[in-house]
Amino acid sequence: MTPYELADSLQRGDRRALAKCITLVESTHPTHREPAAQLLELIMPHTGNSIRLGISGVPGVGKSTFIESFGNHVIDQGHRVAVLAVDPTSSVSGGSILGDKTRMETLSRNPNAYIRPSPAGKTLGGVTRRTRETLLLCEAAGFDVIFVETVGVGQSETAVAEMTDMFLLLLLPGGGDELQGIKRGIMELADLVLVNKSDGDQQAAAGRTVADYQMAMHFLHPRSRHWQARVQALSALKKQGVDEVWQTVEEYRELLGNAGEITSRRAAQACAWMWSETADALLTELKENKAVKALVKTLECDVIEGKIPPTIAARKLIDAFRQ
């Protein structure tokens, strides 16, 4: 299929076309680069019509259970849900642990849902880029609520916050964020904190955790002038508090949307994306350059042995590239 045919089928909501499009943009094969770029250009005017939700939390906190309950709930309200994942560890383990279909069984069977595991990739940058492109493809295919999930470890949270409109952080009842392995920087990204597993004998503890975080969030620098981060209790398993989460998402979208902040955030994100693409592409070209290749080993050894400062070595590499 040509990029034109693919774009056409995609806009008609054809799921097989969506899978084909994603495979094309995820491909690292050099001959796929041009048609993938063409396809993305064709679909651009049909993107942007979704609410993009980032979601994080330590393994076991209930992310997939939540996405399943929440996803089915918003589908019942007439929406279409796509679930993507950024899991930079998947390239190490060889298989993605996120977005795994067996984790969201009823949602994955729902015709109005689309679940895609994390693309494999050597770098977080590579994984992030492909996920951004997949997000655009899902929008063009008519999905209007898009989740980008991340494992609660490392830098992928920031990457996900930088490609979404709203960042949701799931926590467990009891214990401070340090106990839960959440760094302050991650807390600051959160637009909505959800204390999950608020059921059974954990319910009281969840209530206390909500109160503690409501206090704590006031001391953090807010991400938006128009929004103070909220904290809510939830039981993803018992489906309690799920509708309240959707109401908060809608309120957020309305407030920030009216203030023009979603548009301005997306514009800034697109610009930052352009620059990181430029930096990545230049670096790849530099590393493939013959003159650079001839120098690299010696310079690396010199830097390791402390013979020359890294800044000077970097300058030499750039000079070699320029000539």
Q: Which residues bind ligand GDP (CB under 6 A)?
A: 57, 59-65, 103, 196-197, 199, 235-237
Pick the closer one to ligand GDP by CB: 38 or 203: 203
- Within 13 Å of residue 218, how many CA atoms lie on the same side as its CB? 5
Pick the closer one to ligand GDP by CB: 42 or 237: 237
At 165, the amino acid letter reads: D
DSSP string computed for 55-82: EE--TTSSHHHHHHHHHHHHHHTT--EE
Closest CB 11 distance from ligand GDP, rounded Å: 32
Closest CB 225 distance from ligand GDP, rounded Å: 31
Closest CB 168 distance from ligand GDP, rounded Å: 12
**Token representation of residue 150:** 């991340």
Distance, CA of 228 to CA of 170 (rounded, Å)? 17
Pick the closer one to ligand GDP by CB: 224 or 240: 240
Strand 51-56, strand 113-115: pairing: unpaired
Closest CB 54 distance from ligand GDP, rounded Å: 14
Closest CB 164 distance from ligand GDP, rounded Å: 17
Pick the closer one to ligand GDP by CB: 203 or 289: 203
Pick the closer one to ligand GDP by CB: 86 or 136: 86
Pick the closer one to ligand GDP by CB: 48 or 59: 59
Closest CB 59 distance from ligand GDP, rounded Å: 4
User: What element of type H or E holds 38?
Assistant: helix 30-43
Query: By beta-carbon distance, which residue lies closest to ligand GDP?
Result: 62
Distance, CA of 171 to CA of 217 (rounded, Å)? 14
Tell me how crowded residue 247 is: count the other CB atoms within 10 A of its CB: 11
Per the DSSP assignment, residues forming a β-bridge with 168 are 55, 192
Distance, CA of 234 to CA of 57 (rounded, Å)? 14
